Amino acid sequence: MKPAQKQKQQQKSFESSNELKLLLRPVVNRLYTRPLRVIASTKTPAMARSYPVRVMMGRNPGNLLRWLFDSRHAPQGRLVPRWIFLRSLAAIYFSAFYSLLFQINGLIGPEGVLPAQQYLAAVARSMGAERYWFAPSLFWFSSTSSMLVAVMGIGVAASLIAFLNLWPRLSFFVCFLCFLSFVGASDVFSGYQSDGMLLEAGFLALFFAPRGLLPGWGANDPPSRASQFLLQWEWFRIYFESGMVKLLSGDLQWRNFTAMDEYYQNGPLPTWIGWYVEHLPHWFHAASVAGTLALELGLVFMLFFPRRVRLICFFIVTPWEIGVILTANYTFLNYLVLSLGFLLLDDRFLRRFVPARFLPHKPERIAEIEPPEELSLSILATNVASTETPESEPDEHDRARRPWHGRLTDHWSAVRLAIAALMLSWIAYNTTAEMIGIPLRHVPLPTTPIAALEPFRIANQYGLFAVMTRGRYEIEFQGSNDGINWIPYPFQFKPQPLDERPGIYAPYQPRFDWNLWFASLGSWRQNDIVPLTEERLLLNSPAVLSLFRSNPFPQLPPRYVRAILWQYWFTSTDEKRRTGNWWRRESLGLYAPEITLTADGNVNVVQWPEELEPHE
């Protein structure tokens, strides 16, 4: 055979081979996906665990990113827990915005205690162009009273829309933006760990929620592995980091099992149920300490165990959180932790509680697949009931034949995937590094990524009750027209009248009352809100007065205002039976300067407080 003829025949054979490959590709793909059904039918967990790993590792790095961050390659079986969590998150957002709607002007309004306009101006002077990153807030555009209320009102509306499952990604983004605006402009009134927890969960929800205007259960858009895991990771860190700081703080109350003896009395806003629990025997409080440490340092690791262990974990931590909610008003903090706990569950467990006509429908391509009986929680050990079909990547010829809008959709999907991979990986690193930094502070880990995200509060370090307070102290504002007879300003939520039963207010958060509890543990020089509130009361500021239950000087402001410090205790059962009082108290003296206004409108100090004995 001549060389030219031989070359021509080889070329023809090569073309025939390519055509044969194209014809056989669908058949090969079907055969390639056959192990999915085999695994589901035989229910062999080892095969189920190894299959997705083989698929992931046998492809290019792009497939690894899709496997972790793309909902189209996500496992099924978590639609009902996601629906419950997102509705709960929307309700928590609503509680936060609803409470701020009535407080924000008194807190950071133009006539409030710490005006946002002054705070943002100080940030602008010190930070320059970086101010927008350091204090991310819509209130840079305007911080008038109307603007503050409008942003909180938009937050209320967006949270209701999110609760109704209408365009959840957009509505949760609006919630996140509005709440971040308050946090970024409110200085000390947003320094709580609960605010960071909500912002972190709210940001992760942007990747966790289903796409679309009316997604329903989102069966065709299940949560990606990374977003699901990071929300569970937040739940784990809240507990575990709180347990670590209790041991590392050196507080003897945790070590000698007395931390809970007066816990119910000394918290920010006690409840009447807490009054009764406080009077239980010491062995109960000691057992509560042991249970707290065991749960935070041990039981939460059940998250990483197979399914049945996670279900047991849920039924341990959920009653525990309900008990905390009933005995102390920690705003929406425990409600958020309780909601995150539902991510321990799956559809197989929850579908029995959902009416059949409302159950989520499975996508057609996974209708015959059932999840394996037991899988541990890991990004590498996941349910095989996945929307992922291991098809070959289209070649350049296939891409070229697609219409322009199809190619544009591919590009947009790639951009979304890149953003999800970047942000979720960033949060994963920051939260892991910060957790490692609790026991190992001198480990040389890069801190620049942590500092860059810090203003947004979406990757936090937690640590609740590292040191227990040893007494209950209350700041009380009083006004007088003669400097002799003093009338107290009544609070809305803080303990004050001795015969008033402590209420249950959570998830509503009275931020002014909360900040005064923290201020009572230190000096007035460290807590500007106390003397600044005194000045506002001398002017009968309507915004600040709205933070109190009523105004004892409705006609004209008082000539003198002062703040005194009380120590409070729960009454004994015998004392309550005799007097009807829930509290008893003792005056510790003047907390902040007694002030008055001069004729020209300047503030004059009438009496300086003496140095108070250390109290915490």
374 within domain boundaries: no
- Please report which confidence band the pLDDT of residue 613 belongs to, taking 50, 70 and 90 as the band edges: confident
pLDDT tens-digit profile of 171-198?
A: 999 999 999 999 999 989 999 999 999 9
pLDDT above 60 for 405: yes
* CA 407 from centre of chain: 37
Same domain, 490 and 435: no
Q: Look at residue 482 and give its three-state secondary structure.
A: coil
Q: Who has greater pLDDT, 39 or 545?
A: 545
65 within domain boundaries: no
Give the whole-number percent of the chain exceeding pLDDT 70: 82
pLDDT tens-digit profile of 320-374?
A: 999 999 999 999 999 999 999 999 999 999 999 988 878 876 554 433 334 444 4
Contact 360, 215 (CB under 8 A): no
- Please report which confidence band the pLDDT of residue 612 belongs to, taking 50, 70 and 90 as the band edges: confident
User: Where does residue 504 rank: exposed (0-12), middle (13-18), buried (19+ CB within 10 A)?
Assistant: middle
Mean pLDDT calculated for residue range 102-121: 97
Task: Name the token pair of 226.
Answer: 């990374």
- Taking the CA atoms of residue 56, residue 59, residue 65 and residue 69 in that order, the dihedral angle to the nearest 10 degrees is -40
Mean pLDDT calculated for residue range 556-585: 97
367 within domain boundaries: no
- Please report which confidence band the pLDDT of residue 300 belongs to, taking 50, 70 and 90 as the band edges: very high
CA distances from 452 to 188, 305, 456, 457 (A): 20, 33, 9, 10
CA proximity to 107, closest of 589, 521, 456, 543 = 543
Mean pLDDT calculated for residue range 204-215: 96
HEC secondary structure over 73-106: HCECCCHHHHHHHHHHHHHHHHHHHHHHHCCHHH
CA proximity to 387, closest of 44, 83, 85, 79 = 79
CA proximity to 29, closest of 388, 368, 385, 382 = 388
Same domain, 484 and 450: no
Same domain, 547 and 500: yes
Domain range spanning residue 7? Answer: 3-58
Same domain, 20 and 118: no
CA-based diameter of the chain, in Å? Answer: 123
- Please report which confidence band the pLDDT of residue 402 belongs to, taking 50, 70 and 90 as the band edges: low
Same domain, 345 and 448: yes
Q: Check residue 348 and give its pLDDT.
A: 94
DSSP label at residue 610: P
Mean pLDDT calculated for residue range 148-158: 98
Mean pLDDT calculated for residue range 302-319: 97
CA distances from 405 to 90, 180, 213, 401 (A): 34, 35, 21, 12
Mean pLDDT calculated for residue range 386-415: 63
Contact 88, 342 (CB under 8 A): yes
Q: Look at residue 509 and give its three-state secondary structure.
A: coil
Q: Which amino acid is at 221?
A: D
Same domain, 146 and 287: yes
List the Cα angle 599/602/607 in 5-degree steps.
100
* CA 336 from centre of chain: 6
Same domain, 519 and 438: no
190 within domain boundaries: yes
CA proximity to 514, closest of 479, 552, 547, 551 = 547
- Please report which confidence band the pLDDT of residue 421 belongs to, taking 50, 70 and 90 as the band edges: very high
pLDDT above 50 for 389: no
Mean pLDDT calculated for residue range 386-406: 55
201 within domain boundaries: yes
CA distances from 362 to 121, 222, 366, 585 (A): 53, 10, 7, 61
129 within domain boundaries: yes
Same domain, 418 and 347: yes
- Across 103-217, the runs of DSSP E, i.e. the strands, are none
Same domain, 281 and 202: yes
- Please report which confidence band the pLDDT of residue 615 belongs to, taking 50, 70 and 90 as the band edges: confident
Same domain, 334 and 434: yes
- Please report which confidence band the pLDDT of residue 40 belongs to, taking 50, 70 and 90 as the band edges: very low
Mean pLDDT calculated for residue range 53-64: 60
**Neighbouring C-beta atoms of residue 10, cutoff 10 Å:** 10
Task: Name the token pair of 555.
Answer: 């006609």
Task: Name the token pair of 379.
Answer: 């990004």
pLDDT above 60 for 65: yes
pLDDT tens-digit profile of 467-503?
A: 999 999 999 999 999 999 999 999 999 999 999 999 9
pLDDT above 50 for 10: no
Same domain, 449 and 551: no
CA proximity to 514, closest of 563, 542, 549, 474 = 474
Mean pLDDT calculated for residue range 426-452: 94
Cross-strand pairs, 530: none
CA proximity to 495, closest of 581, 400, 588 = 581
pLDDT above 80 for 8: no
DSSP-assigned letters across all residues of 295-308: HHHTGGGGGGSBHH
567 within domain boundaries: yes
390 within domain boundaries: no
Please give the mean pLDDT across all residues of the chain.
87
CA-to-CA distance for 109 and 145, rounded, in angstroms? 6
- In the chain, how many domains are there? 3
DSSP-assigned letters across all residues of 226-274: HHHHHHHHHHHHHHHHHHHHHHHT--HHHHTT-TTSSHHHHSSSB-HHH
Task: Name the token pair of 375.
Answer: 């899988």
Same domain, 344 and 482: no
